Structure 1
Amino acid sequence: MARIDYFHEPDAPAANSVVPAVVALVQNPAGQVLMIRRSDNGRWALPGGGHDLGESISETVVREVREETGVEVEVVGLTGIYTDPGHVMRYDDGEVRQQFSLCFRAHPTGGELRTSAETPLVRWVDPPELPELDIHPTMRLRIDHALDRTRTGPYIG
């Protein structure tokens, strides 16, 4: 399903849903970040997705990372809560979703890199290479907050 992100754009459609979602900054022992290329908008992002009924939010993180990348993870902390009403995503089925995303840090515990229908490319990226990738500004903000070891608590905004 195609997706268009609107970020503080005056012609953005009005939101008609809110779905809690997660992303995870996963770093391997070499310090590389697990990144996916999304099939819905072609941009690079942290792995993640929508929260399902019947699971804890940390179970959502583990499930989404495994589904999108093949990597098993352990959640180690929350780095931010992102609820900017000026960021909406329009899907081709008519849904216009207001951003509601929780960003977590996680460590890999197993599995092997693989792609999925949602993620045609999956790779480990050295942090200095991240600016070379096409990453939406709100995803870049999550990555920057998660990599910032000087933060004393999660970003809330």
Structure 2
Amino acid sequence: MTGRRDYYHDPNAPAANSLVPGAAAIVTDEHGRILLQRRTDSGNWSLPGGAMDIGETLQQCAVREVKEETGLDIEITGLLGIYTDPAHVIAYPDGEVRQEFTITYLARVIGGVITVSDESTDVRFIDPAEFDHIPIHDTVRLRLHHRAEHRDTPYLG
């Protein structure tokens, strides 16, 4: 399956032609593990999230996307940061080249059952000690690093 391609600080990246607000969530369990999904389009482990729909808030977007992609119901507990690096673009097969624009929230599970969606091959809570041993895109690693720092204020970048 040919899907999206992420470029991060790559001088050969195509120029962005789109900007779409999106939301993602770092969902932790009682053991400090973080909910990740293995993407079908890249094979990388990633945070659940996606593009905002008209008529919803970014928080509602994060809750909806986590439910669609993982089967879990979540409650937003905080804001990790705002990620809008113009050096991170995502090229899609239809010619869209989207500049990163993602608000990443902190959240906890309040219901549901883990379910794999058509966007992933696996969904599970992963111990942060495993992160160095699994494929994770650099932009997701940055967010996981910010989470591990237990910052007092959200990342603004």
TM-score by length of 1: 0.96
- Give the equivalent residue in structure 2 for 1:118: 119
For 1:120, what is the secondary structure of its paired residue?
strand
Which residue is 1:59 aligned to?
Answer: 60
- Counterpart of 1:155 in structure 2: which amino acid? Y
For residue 142 of structure 1, what is the aligned residue in structure 2?
143
Provide the alpha-carbon RMSD of the alignment: 1.0
Supply the AA of the counterpart residue of 2:153.
G
How many angstroms apart in 1 are the aligned matches of 2:107 and 2:99?
Answer: 25
Letter in 1 for 2:156: I
Query: Which residue identity does 1:57 align to in structure 2?
Result: L
Partner of 1:156: 156
| Structure 1 residue aligned with 2:46 | 45
The percent identity for this pair of structures is 49
Q: Deviations over 1:24-53 (max 9, x none)?
A: 100111211100011121111111101110
CA distance in 1, matches of 2:63, 2:32: 19
Structure 2-normalised TM-score? 0.96
Question: Which consecutive residues of structure 1, in runs of 5 or more, have no partner in the other structure?
Answer: none
**How many residues get paired?**
156
The answer for the alignment partner of 1:88 in structure 2 is 89
Deviations 1:90-114 (A, max 9, x none): 0101110001111110000011111
Shift >6 Å, 4+ stretches? none
Q: CA deviation at 1:147?
A: 2.8
Name stretches of at least 5 consecutive residues in structure 2 with no aligned partner: none
